[in-house]
A and B are shown apart, each in its own frame.
Chain A
Amino acid sequence: MTTATTGTTAVTGAVGTAHTRVEGLAKVTGAARYAGEIPFAELAHGWLVLSTVARGRIRSVEDAPVRAMPGVLTVLHHGNAPRVDGDYVGMLGKPDPTVAVFQHDRVPYLGWPVALVVAETSEQAREAAEALVVRYDQEPHDVAFFAGRPGTYTPQTPGTETEKGDLEAELTASAVVVDAEYTTPEEHHSSMEPHAAMARWDSGRLEVVDSNQGSTWVAGELAKLFSLDPESVRVRSEHVGGAFGSKGVRPHQVLAVMAATVLHRPVRVVLTRRQMFSLVGYRSPTAQRVRLGADPDGRLRALDHQAQSLTSTVHEFVEPSASVARAMYDADAHHTVNQVVALDVPTPTWMRAPGEAPGSFALESALDELAEKCGLDPIALRTRNEPDAGPVSGLPFSSRNLLACFEEGARRFGWADRDPAPGLRREGRWLLGTGTAAASFPTMVMPSTAAVTAEADGTFTVRISAADVGTGARTALTLIAADALEVAPDRIRVRIADSDFGPAMIAGGSMGTRSWGWAVTAAVGELREQLALGGDIPPQGITARADTTEALGALPEKERHSFGAQFAEVAVDTTTGEIRVRRLLGIFAAGRIINPLTARSQFIGGMTWGLSMALHEEAVRDQASGGHVNADFAGYHFAAHADVPLIEADWVDDPDDDPVGIKGIGEIGIVGTAAAIANAVWHATGVRHRNLPIRPDRVLLAGGEPAGGRHA
């Protein structure tokens, strides 16, 4: 009965208006099920056994007694596991060999998978796994990371190092020089929902119900690992309780597939919090040196950012901390390099704002130190060094509204009234200070496909292998589709996270909404052309598809970034070392904001994480064992509610000549926050803290102006 109704009623304005999550009711009522809790008939449960040594060989896995325990179905290990092929190049490069589980007897780090016990119940599997005796021929390990340690090298990958001008000459010619070293510790994503996957074979197809950042991505990796026809693998991931870079292909999916193949029944593997600390990646600790040389007026003559991080002995992952300077500041001589050292530790990976998060702490702290030395306001220093084009690339910016962020932020924060001198403001036992820092994150895009169906009942169905990792992506795509179709959002149903929907970008690199939104918009364009021909909608609907590969290829080469300005106010008691953040304000220039409600949540979430990074987060590695001492949430601290103060996030207009105008917002919130807080701690106390987190013991031992001044 229905004819095409797009456009005729001209409903628009969904984009840019606050909308609650379309799946919000299901989530808050518990109706939304996550991968670890979806019931399946005949489901068996796998429990992982991890190595307890940091380097060596497995001498024996004494599985016979465990096989006799109640409910145990099998014990998989390197002696009996199906073979997989880990030598391939996937969507994002070669895989971390950690996913090629049980293929040999070598142990490259503590927490490496050595066995999987599968049983009728999760409790039986766990009991048997804890009873399993694994013997090792242990070898000496080395997990000690520090600046300039022997073995540190510059990877031969393109983009590792950039260089222009004569650095030493410009430093020598500079009236003011900052030369400082900064460190950040090992940090973990540890999403609220642990990794979980169920695998089963159904009529010759492998089906995986997972929690991931990209179902097509994971399906492709599993097909390659198990040498399967990609068409025969289906991965779904309906709801995801956080990911942050950690939810790609990981041992749990591979093990679930192995066990389902061996046992001919569905098998689920769920990681524990403790297991996540060694199996799903993390942010490497960093040691960074920043050298800035400037004229007396603050104009940069020299900028040198050298960053070191660690990786495992089995895979090279480089935390690109020094790269942030390539977009932020120009100098006559400009040098950035990202170096790495291989140790007996798990492989790090992308974690929210990889590179920018630790890199901005060092660079934006150094800028603050330079402002102090030049006697300049920190914002004025950044204004003076605002580049006209990419400092390294020379390319024009698609848009760069960093100064607008600082202007709006300074106005709202009350920055103009700030006395720049440190250590002056007291309130009882607290010293007060304020600080600021710049933020940026690259705007990238990857090819994606989408399908849009005009249904016979007048509604529309969007299908795209996107992932909603808790960000509100499903809702954002609903709004984008609604405006493109010129219908109300309640007539749109967006189905995501099913690899059968075809290739699409993952939820990563702040590229999701931009990549998927582009594909959905293109598919709607195709559909509207078909609908414009007129006629009734058949019962199966009318479907149009789009693939953005060609359109993205035509995108002109430019410097494309989101920008932001972070402001912080802190209170410090130097007699106890306590720091409390009192206010955070972030103003961002991040293109077209699709859903202000969820966008603000993402910014605030990122800033809260930046606060955690500044004051709390630190995975402590025990040199003797090679493992962690605090691999749980009792020991690995992040901000609790009482630590999170008034946080405001907002944005300025950021028009861009881009075809879709969407930039990423998932990561930039964390960038610069830690530096703004560290700069505020200096303003409060007169002491520079260059090592994160700024723990009470560090504040206490560093001294500073005694608060209260009564009894010092």
Chain B
Amino acid sequence: MREFGYRRVHDVPGALALLGADPDARCLGGGTNLVDLMKAGVERPGLLIDVRELPLDRIAATDGGGLRIGATVTNSDLAAHPEVRRRYPALAQAVLAGASGQLRNMATVGGNLLQRTRCGYFTDPAKPCNKRIPGSGCPALEGEHHNHAILGASEHCVAVHPSDMGVALAAFDAVVSYETVDGPGELPLAEFYLPVGETPHLETALPPGALITGVTLPPAPVAAHSRYRKVRERASYAFAIGSIAAALDVRDGVIRDVRLAFGAVASRPWRAREAERVLTGGPASAEAFAAAADAELAAAEALPHNGYKVTLMRNLVIAMLSELAETDPAELNGGTAR
């Protein structure tokens, strides 16, 4: 195995100094994805900067009912936090739908946002991949792509983002905070991930040398009535083939607020804004849910073997919104707190 340096940092300036000094440096959170990729030869960092000791492991309530989540909060702690479960139940459910107990104990919020696709061509250095080696080609287009993108992809890359947590964050308008040597910055999650286009190797809008410090969830009363559902090929320990975070606020039969985000359909967590637009102000009926799903999925472009995802996502939208419409919000919250 190629040799690499390892440094543990205890404060943000120390981390930024190391990051700025070595373009081959990578931040090590839980290592649940990075170390695997190093073993496979996909990632070959010169230096690992262990950020787990940074003072970024707190979850704090913000004024008005939001949350600020530190970058090194573990997935397990995030899912177990009472305010996360109360204010954003779909987020807790999404995190618990991912990986295994052991991995969730290690994995961090910052690392989760930066995890790489599990496309089998990306993870095998012997094969071409535009994300790994720009310009080498995308064998998934004509090869194995059962679990590849139907939305927002390009002819250069059809890989999907694997995060469950990110789907719930996308639904709730999360904002990513970072620090650079030039000072702090913020990126709404919608702008955090770059479009695939011709540059699938460029995945985020983080400036060079930036360190993710946390994620802020703005207040969203609708999020208290939310759910996450993940469909996967086995009952646990598998990435989604399709997932959905949904929140619904219905009053007097009219949809006042709705949030929808899809997982495993695009290179990033996919906020279904078109579906939300169609639904808002309308009736909470199965017909309306189906029409909203169709509106969102009208842009879907399927390859020969992933067209089932269009059907799957349509079914999930209808099923999840129907469940939320039929469930008393108080009962739902009680259910998620078990």
| Chain A interface (Cβ < 8 Å from any Cβ of B) | 52, 123, 126-127, 130, 429, 575-578, 580, 615-616, 620, 622-625, 627-632, 634-635, 637, 639-643, 695-697, 700-701, 708, 710-711
Contact = CB atoms under 8 A, between A and B. Distances in A.
B58 interface: no
A640 B239 CA distance: 13
Interface string B25-58: 0000000000010000100000000000000000
A226 B1 CA distance: 32
Contacts of B121: 622, 629
A62 B311 CA distance: 51
Nearest to B285: A711
Given A429-B319, A624-B143, A577 B231 contact: yes
Contacts of A615: 234
A357 B233 CA distance: 22
B234 A642 contact: yes
A625 B127 contact: yes
A631 B316 CA distance: 31
Which of B1, B118, B234, B237 lies at the interface centre, i.e. has the most chain A CB atoms within 10 A of its CB? B234
B159 to A, nearest CB: 12
A578 B231 contact: yes
Contact of A575 (B142, B306, B315): B315
Given A123-B1, A637-B233, A711-B322, A625 B139 contact: yes
B265 interface: no
Given A130-B2, A576-B316, 20 more contacts: A123-B1, A575-B319, A576-B231, A577-B308, A578-B231, A622-B143, A623-B142, A625-B127, A627-B124, A628-B120, A629-B120, A629-B124, A640-B234, A696-B312, A697-B241, A697-B308, A700-B311, A701-B308, A708-B319, A711-B318
B336 to A, nearest CB: 18
Interface string B303-336: 0011010011001101100100000000000000
A576 B143 contact: no
Contacts, number: 107
Nearest to A631: B124
Which of A52, A580, A624 lies at the interface centre, i.e. has the most chain B CB atoms within 10 A of its CB? A624
Given A123-B1, A635-B120, A639-B234, A629 B126 contact: no
Which of B36, B235, B286, B306 lies at the interface centre, i.e. has the most chain A CB atoms within 10 A of its CB? B235
A127 B315 CA distance: 48
Q: Interface size class for chain B?
A: 35 or more
Contact of B286 (A52, A127, A639, A711): A711
Closest 7 CB pairs of A and B: A629-B120, A642-B235, A642-B236, A697-B308, A575-B315, A711-B286, A640-B237
A127 B146 CA distance: 33
Question: Per DSSP, are chain B's interface residues mostly helix, strand or loop, or mixed?
Answer: loop
Nearest to B237: A640
Contacts of B22: none
A710 B2 CA distance: 56
Contacts of A126: 1
A700 B319 contact: no
B308 A700 contact: yes
A342 B222 CA distance: 60
B144 interface: yes
A444 B337 CA distance: 57
B120 to A, nearest CB: 4
B9 interface: no
Nearest to A126: B1
B290 interface: yes
Interface of B: 1-3, 36, 41, 118, 120-121, 123-124, 126-127, 139, 142-144, 146, 231-238, 241-242, 286, 289-290, 305-306, 308, 311-312, 315-316, 318-319, 322
B236 A643 contact: yes
A624 B120 contact: no
Nearest to A124: B1
A110 to B, nearest CB: 9
Contacts of A697: 146, 241, 305-306, 308
B302 to A, nearest CB: 11
A634 B118 contact: yes
B322 A643 contact: no
Given A577-B312, A622-B144, A711 B290 contact: yes
A130 B41 contact: yes
B335 to A, nearest CB: 14
A640 B236 CA distance: 6
A168 B237 CA distance: 49
B240 to A, nearest CB: 11
Given A126-B1, A575-B319, A629-B143, A622 B231 contact: no
Nearest to A51: B126
B286 A696 contact: no
A710 B322 contact: yes
A578 B238 CA distance: 13
A710 B311 contact: no
Given A620-B144, A622-B139, A700 B236 contact: no
B238 A640 contact: yes
B238 A637 contact: yes
B238 A696 contact: no
A711 B242 CA distance: 19
8 contacts: A577-B308, A622-B143, A624-B142, A625-B126, A630-B144, A640-B236, A711-B289, A711-B318
A52 B139 CA distance: 15
Contacts of B123: 632, 634-635
Nearest to A70: B3
Nearest to B146: A697
Contacts of B235: 580, 640, 642-643
A620 B308 contact: no
Contact of B233 (A616, A624, A641): A616
Nearest to A630: B120
Contacts of B143: 622-624, 629
B2 A127 contact: yes
B184 to A, nearest CB: 35
B308 A624 contact: no
A696 B233 contact: yes
A582 B305 CA distance: 29
B290 to A, nearest CB: 7
Contacts of B233: 616, 637, 695-696
Contacts of A634: 36, 118, 123
A205 B305 CA distance: 56
Nearest to A703: B311
B296 to A, nearest CB: 16
B241 A696 contact: yes
B261 to A, nearest CB: 17
A127 B126 CA distance: 15
Contacts of B286: 710-711
Contacts of B318: 711
Nearest to B147: A697
Contacts of A632: 123
B312 A576 contact: yes
Contacts of A631: 124
A630 B286 CA distance: 39
Which of A127, A635, A697 lies at the interface centre, i.e. has the most chain B CB atoms within 10 A of its CB? A697
Contacts of A622: 121, 127, 139, 143-144
B208 to A, nearest CB: 28
Nearest to A707: B319
Contact of B120 (A575, A620, A623, A710): A620
Contacts of B232: 578, 696
B308 A576 contact: no
Contacts of A701: 308, 311
Nearest to B143: A622
A568 to B, nearest CB: 16
Nearest to B314: A575
Nearest to B318: A711
Nearest to B3: A127
Contacts of A576: 231, 242, 312, 315-316, 319
Nearest to B308: A697
A52 B126 contact: yes
A420 to B, nearest CB: 28
